[in-house]
Structure 1
């Protein structure tokens, strides 16, 4: 599974984890993806969609 939303294209971002001693180590910030049956171009498919697209109704649930 690629960490990318099928609707908006939101993907992983890189950043740093900073410890108490202020030492930085690399990490990934990943979007909250959920598997969902959606209508994509008029076709019912199971895709990974971020929760912000689900909440804003950008992803239409297929019934």
Structure 2
């Protein structure tokens, strides 16, 4: 599953994982995306949508 929202385009972000001893390593923050059935132009299609778009009402669930 692609880790990108098909509505807003939100994708993975990069940052650092820092331990208590301040050892720094790279890490990835993935968006919370789900495959849901969405109504688009009267048709039901499957899209990968982040939970923020679902909560904001940017998509209509089938």
TM-score scaled by structure 1?
Answer: 0.88
What is the SS of the residue equivalent to 1:53? helix
Equivalenced residues, count: 61
How large is the Cα RMSD of the aligned pairs? 1.0
Map of 1:2 onto structure 2:
2
CA-to-partner distance for each residue in 1:9-29, whole Å, 9 max, x for gaps? 000000110001111111100
Map of 1:44 onto structure 2:
44
Gaps of 5+ in 2: none
Gaps of 5+ in 1: none
What is the SS of the residue equivalent to 2:58? coil
